Structure 1
Amino acid sequence: MSVSSTPEGVSVAPRHIHFDVSEDLKSFWHGNDAFRTAFFNALSLQFPDGEQQFINAVRLYRDRIDDPKLKQEIRGFIGQEALHSREHKSYNEALRARGYEIDAIDRRFRKHMAWVGRLPASRQLAGTCGAEHYTAVLANAILRHPEWMAGASPRMQRLWRWHAIEETEHKSVAFDVYRQCVGNERLRKVVFLFVTWNFFKYTFLNTCSLLKTDGKLWSLRTWLGGINFLWGRPGVLRRCLPEFLAYLRTGFQPWQQDNRDLLRENLAELQDSRYPA
């Protein structure tokens, strides 16, 4: 019996797509809104180093997996995350070209990632599972609520759709490795609390750094609009909160949120020629 919980009809395989977003990132690409643009850019700034750490954590246990299906999905997971890291490096370089202080932001986050990389392997993998849960829930929200990206440039919509699709496809891979090789429910939950703190901490700090460069850090209107976007209406984070907290249930498994229908719909749109790369 396979230890992989990835359901039938879901393939974990990288798509070699390149997005040239340099022109889009010269402006407030998300509906000319400073906060929404900064929030998504702040997420992007964490991806290259964060996703490399995910790869490293899974590799520490790869040789202990015998199940052919999960072994194949680990290869797909590593390929997908490597391409995400590559595309978001280009994305972040375009932010640097616009004048953002990317070096200072990177130093702050890399110091944290270096600390994570010195943790015991079981904690690194538990942290990867927790962080993958956040990306999977946010990915589901982006796919299920395309109106949340309304006003964003077509190229940026396609980039975030591509990333969300692949995060959904591989959302249980690290979790299955953890369940097979570590299986400590208490550790999984405790580490998730630390991941939660750091995810929101660095997203907030990065957003502030970007808004400072934009001259919007002390703009009450900008923050009120941002708080409404995240916690009011549409309330991106508010509406994701129950799914975030589901991770703390004993016996939780990522595909308990079965969103294969969204994958099929969004894959068709990803392949639509009207959305440029």
Structure 2
Amino acid sequence: MTISSTPKGVSVTPRHLRFDLADDLKTLWHGNDAFRTAFFNALSLQFPDGEQQFINAVRLYRDQVDDPKLKEEIRGFIGQEALHSREHKHYNEALKARGYDIDAIDERFRKHMEWVGNLPPSRQLAGTCGAEHYTAVLANAILQHPEWMEGATPGMARLWRWHAIEETEHKSVAFDVYRHCVGNERLRRIVFLFVTWNFFKYTFLNTCSLLKADGKLWSPGTWIGGMNFLWGKPGVLRKCLPDFLAYFREGFHPWQQDNRDLIDKNLNELELEQSAR
């Protein structure tokens, strides 16, 4: 019986890329804009511990999966997430070297992840599905709207594109494991509410911590520009909102947003960028 819903032409394949971003991260790398830089850095700060938790949650059910295709995709998922975690650890260490109190920020989020890791396996996996939905929607937006990264240094733009491609490739893996091994639609939706609260809570807190260190926390201009970026024009979160909310639909599945064309286009461009370096 085939459980995997990853469509034809999509391969969940880890790419062993490395990014030397120490010099980029000494700067306001996103167009010299304090808010945009802090927002993306705030997302990065959640990835090492968050993605390790995703791996742990899927591993709890791996032995219950007998579909060879999905088993192979689980291996790919774990490989991709492990590499993302590695590169974002380097990213976050560079932020620490710049002078940010990353240890305090990490401790705040790590306590939450330790709490998540003590939940029943079904809730851990449901939480992983919800968090993977957020990363998949944001990944799609980054691939679909390259102008949102306009002004970013080439190295940072390349890292976020690589991460977005692989998040898109494996966006249904945890979901397929959940649907096969747990299958509780009510639990899936309820846990998504908690994931939503925590995703926005820690992104906001991390952004504020970074802006405070930059002396921009109480700058009206910084916040006006930031709110315009997220909710006005280009409206990063505003344009993602319908896709975020699609998770509540009955019969929802990640590949209902079929963006294989975006994977192919961006993967070709990424490979060209890598070969030109």
1:146-202 Cα distance to aligned partner (Å, 9 max, x none) = 000000000100000000000000000000000000000000000000000000000
Calculate the TM-score normalised by the size of structure 2: 0.99
Q: SS of the residue aligned with 1:271?
A: helix
Q: Give 1:161's aligned residue.
A: 161
Q: Give 2:37's aligned residue.
A: 37
Q: Give 1:124's aligned residue.
A: 124
Where does 1:16-31 land on structure 2 (aligned, <5 Å)? 16-31=16-31
Q: Between the two proteins, what is the percent identity of the paired residues?
A: 82
1:186-224 Cα distance to aligned partner (Å, 9 max, x none) = 000000000000000000000000000000000000000
Q: Give 1:56's aligned residue.
A: 56
For the structure 1 residues 230 and 276, does the alpha-carbon distance in structure 2 shift closer, same or farther, using more than 3 Å as the test?
A: farther
Looking at structure 2, the residues matched to 208 and 195 of structure 1 have their Cα atoms a distance apart, in angstroms, of: 20
Structure 2 gaps, min length 5: none
Structure 1 counterpart of 2:258, one-letter code: D
Tell me how large the CA RMSD over aligned residues is: 1.0
Q: Are 1:38 and 1:211, in contact at CA under 8 Å, matched by a contact in 2? A: yes
1:21-45 Cα distance to aligned partner (Å, 9 max, x none) = 0000000000000000000000000
Q: Are 1:5 and 1:176, in contact at CA under 8 Å, matched by a contact in 2? A: yes
Extract structure 1 runs of 4+ deviating beyond 6 A: 274-277
Structure 1 gaps, min length 5: none
Q: SS of the residue aligned with 1:273?
A: helix
Q: Give 1:148's aligned residue.
A: 148
Q: Are 1:161 and 1:266, in contact at CA under 8 Å, matched by a contact in 2? A: yes
Q: Give 1:228's aligned residue.
A: 228
1:102-121 Cα distance to aligned partner (Å, 9 max, x none) = 00000000000000000000
Return the offset for 1:3. Answer: 0.7
Calculate the TM-score normalised by the size of structure 1: 0.99
Looking at structure 2, the residues matched to 205 and 218 of structure 1 have their Cα atoms a distance apart, in angstroms, of: 14
Looking at structure 2, the residues matched to 22 and 276 of structure 1 have their Cα atoms a distance apart, in angstroms, of: 20
Q: Give 1:218's aligned residue.
A: 218
